[in-house]
């Protein structure tokens, strides 16, 4: 089986999509008769990598590393030359149309993975008309794919409500051997100058408007002494950060990130548009309870046994939720959070994905066997 992933949302500091593709790529390489190719827009200076096709592109302003390919024709032609067994589009932009064009020409299955809620994102930023336009766009695009995957039941239901029939929920995963409670960094607090008695909170991910970091930082101001928040990632930060908020650069290396997470007391997430919550899942795998907003698909990961769900991303509500968590048995919540994360081990998630691929194209069984 030869699978090709195509996306413009794969950059040095990108998050969930990059994690998913890297995990799938590594897993496929261990399977007899399987190949994986990645097609992404890249700078000319990017070193050549095996089984990676770099498309000519220009930087996307204010995106922290993302690039826009120069048209879809070149991508479609490269896909025709590659002739994989199946193509997956990881975003709904113009490379997705190249996937459809090549898939039709080659008569091979095409899959779209809906990682983000584009209508909700545009609706919150630009209003109801923008949301309706995005819904119509997704309906027209996704209706042409053989299969549309959504990472949560919440997102799958939204896509079905748009009239897209061929939608299935495909959970994402976590490397539970890397992200685990035992991977601690005992010297972390000393290096950061954080008091040993302080309740250490952490957020990892993009610093983007939909993550509601301004409200989260105001919550830390309300909580005051005794609480410290680490913001780990990249992007635009709120102004006038409270003294008990520290900022760390994006951490690309998983083991280093896992060691940082495992040393903290709780994970906090103020975003209300998550279609899954991969950063939350990584924290849970490290044994951290979670305070999150009841929005998007977050309730599918976090419940009263693994943390606290607050009703809105208001500073007061977040502060109350954080304070309430520390009145509970954190160790017990952490054990249950780890147990939930174990269900999402990549080693059980990716075989499930492969079964979906093979259902689309029965010949892939024979293709894989013949190449073995």
CA atoms of 57 and 300, how far apart (whole Å): 37
Question: How high is the pLDDT of residue 366?
Answer: 45
Same domain, yes or no, for 111 and 205?
no
The overall average pLDDT reported for the chain is 92
211: tokens are 């993550």
- Tell me, yes or no, whether 226 and 196 share the same domain: yes
Residue 13 predicted with pLDDT over 70: no
β-bridge mates for residue 310, sequence order:
293
β-pair partners for 35: 2
Q: What is the pTM of this model?
A: 0.92
Name the token pair of 317.
Answer: 């509500």
**Calpha distance 262→179 (Å, rounded):** 8
In the predicted model, what is the mean pLDDT of residues 28-37? Answer: 95
Give residue 279's domain range.
Answer: 188-342
DSSP states along 156-190 = HHHHHHTT--SEEE----B-TTTS-TT---TTHHH
Is the pLDDT score of 235 beyond 90?
Answer: no
Q: What is the CATH number of the domain that holds 49?
A: 3.40.50.2000
Residues 338 and 355 both lie in one domain: no
Contact 170, 151 (CB under 8 A): yes
Tally of structural domains, the chain: 2
Structure confidence by residue, pLDDT tens digits, 83-95: 999 999 999 999 9
Asked, for residue 181, whether it belongs to a domain, the answer is: no
Residue at token pair 């990892």: 204
215-228: average pLDDT: 96
Indicate the SS3 state at residue 310.
strand
Range 320-325 average pLDDT: 98
- Asked if residue 44 has pLDDT above 80, the reply is no
Taking the mean position of all CA atoms in its chain, how far away is CA 250?
15
Kindly tell me the burial class for residue 115, based on how many C-beta atoms sit within 10 Å of its own C-beta (0-12, 13-18, 19 or more). Answer: buried
Is the pLDDT reported for residue 128 higher than 70?
yes
Q: Are strands 110-113 and 86-89 parallel, antiparallel or unpaired?
A: parallel
Same domain, 46 and 149: yes
Residues 290, 298: Cα–Cα separation, whole Å: 10
Are residue 14 and residue 158 in the same domain, yes or no?
A: yes
């Amino acid at each position: 089986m030869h699978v090709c992933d195509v996306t413009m949302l794969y950059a040095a500091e990108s998050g969930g999509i990059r994690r998913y593709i890297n995990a799938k790529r590594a897993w496929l390489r261990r399977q007899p008769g399987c190949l994986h190719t990645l097609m992404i827009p890249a700078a000319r200076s990017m070193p050549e990598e095996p089984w990676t096709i770099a498309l000519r592109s220009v930087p996307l302003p204010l995106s922290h590393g993302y690039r826009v390919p120069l048209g879809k024709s070149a991508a479609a032609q490269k896909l025709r030359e590659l002739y994989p067994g199946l193509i997956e589009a990881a975003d709904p932009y113009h490379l997705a149309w190249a996937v459809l064009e090549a898939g039709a020409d080659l008569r091979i299955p095409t899959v779209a993975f809906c990682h983000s809620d584009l209508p909700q994102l545009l609706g919150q930023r630009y209003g109801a008309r923008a949301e309706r336009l995005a819904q119509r766009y997704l309906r027209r695009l996704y209706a042409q794919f053989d299969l549309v995957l959504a990472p949560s039941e919440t997102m799958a239901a939204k896509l079905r409500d748009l009239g897209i029939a061929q939608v299935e929920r495909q959970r994402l995963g976590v490397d539970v051997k890397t992200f685990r409670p035992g991977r601690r960094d005992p010297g972390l607090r000393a290096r950061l100058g954080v008091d040993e008695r302080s309740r250490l909170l952490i957020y990892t991910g993009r610093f983007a408007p939909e993550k509601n970091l301004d409200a989260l930082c105001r919550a830390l101001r309300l909580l005051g002494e005794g609480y410290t928040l680490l913001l780990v990632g990249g992007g635009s930060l709120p102004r006038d950060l409270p003294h008990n908020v520290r900022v760390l650069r994006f951490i690309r290396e998983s083991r280093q990130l896992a060691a940082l997470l495992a040393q903290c007391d709780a994970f906090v997430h103020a975003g209300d548009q998550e279609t899954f919550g991969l950063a939350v899942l990584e924290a849970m795998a490290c044994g951290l309870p979670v305070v999150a907003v009841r929005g998007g698909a977050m309730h599918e990961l976090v419940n009263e046994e693994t943390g606290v769900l607050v009703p809105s991303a208001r500073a007061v509500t977040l502060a109350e939720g954080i304070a309430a968590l520390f009145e509970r048995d954190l160790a017990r919540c952490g054990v249950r959070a780890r147990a939930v994360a174990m269900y999402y081990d990549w080693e059980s998630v990716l075989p499930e994905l492969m079964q979906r691929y093979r259902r689309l194209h029965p010949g892939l069984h024979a293709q894989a066997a013949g190449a073995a």
